[in-house]
Amino acid sequence: MKRIYSSHWSDYELIDAGNDKKIERFGNTILIRPDRNAYFSPILSQKEWKQKAHFEFIEETSSKGIWKTLKQNTPKEWQINYKGCVFNLRLTKFKHIGVFPEQQSNWDFIKTQLCCTEPFEEKKFLNLFAYTGGASLIANSAGANVFHCDSVKQIISWSKENMESSNQSDIRWVFDDALKFATKEVKGKKNMMV
């Protein structure tokens, strides 16, 4: 098995992790969020984490919670950039903020694969369970004909916002359950475009 390491990303940094949490920097905003994979001890002290962070997500249930403000007057919505793709971030009640930075290696792989195709070949990209569209934006920036499928209208709206903020266009939006959509496509039925 080959290990793949992410390249440096100026708008994202994992500062520390441990005790089932991680502290991350997205642009200029620093967040503390739960992470079950951080079962080890952190390097920095809890006090240092709190001094650095702007917000901390406090779990109320296994799937929901609230954001505690640690530094006043910090915007709850902001943008970050990855290779010309703009992500509009915001605090949600599910601890997610609109991007999964651990997907960076996958985005780089997608871009590399699409850029390696012959100029006369049509580049096609289907993003199922597409969330806010990181992979869709990367594929679109590489000239692919992109279909972005998600079953949550608000998430598709958020994805469109990211596309527009990235000065991109022409992503095809599919509002459907990913498995149902893929099954219909395999059977040759018409897809449900937004």
Residues in the chain: 194
Rounded CA gap, 58 and 64, in Å? 9
* Mean pLDDT score, 144-163: 96
Q: What is the CATH T-level fold of the domain 12-90, as seen in this structure?
A: Immunoglobulin-like (2.60.40)
Rounded CA gap, 61 and 94, in Å? 10
pLDDT value of residue 116: 78
| pLDDT tens digits for range 138-150 | 999 999 999 999 9
* Two tokens, residue 6: 């992410």
| pLDDT tens digits for range 165-185 | 999 999 999 999 989 988 888
* Two tokens, residue 5: 């390491």
User: Which range among 9-18, 46-55, 113-122, 124-133 shows the weakest confidence by mean pLDDT?
Assistant: 113-122
From the list 134, 115, 114, 117, the residue with the least C-alpha distance to 125 is 114
Count of alpha carbons within 13 angstroms of residue 99, beta-carbon side: 26
- pLDDT surpassing 70 at residue 105: yes
Rounded CA gap, 97 and 125, in Å? 24
- The Cα diameter of the chain in Å comes to 58
Domain with residues 101-187, CATH architecture: 3-Layer(aba) Sandwich (3.40)
* Mean pLDDT score, 160-165: 98
- pLDDT surpassing 60 at residue 193: no
On whether the CB atoms of residues 130 and 159 are closer than 8 A, the answer is: yes
In the chain, where are the structural domains located? 12-90, 101-187
pLDDT value of residue 5: 64
| pLDDT tens digits for range 66-102 | 999 999 999 999 999 999 999 999 999 999 999 999 9
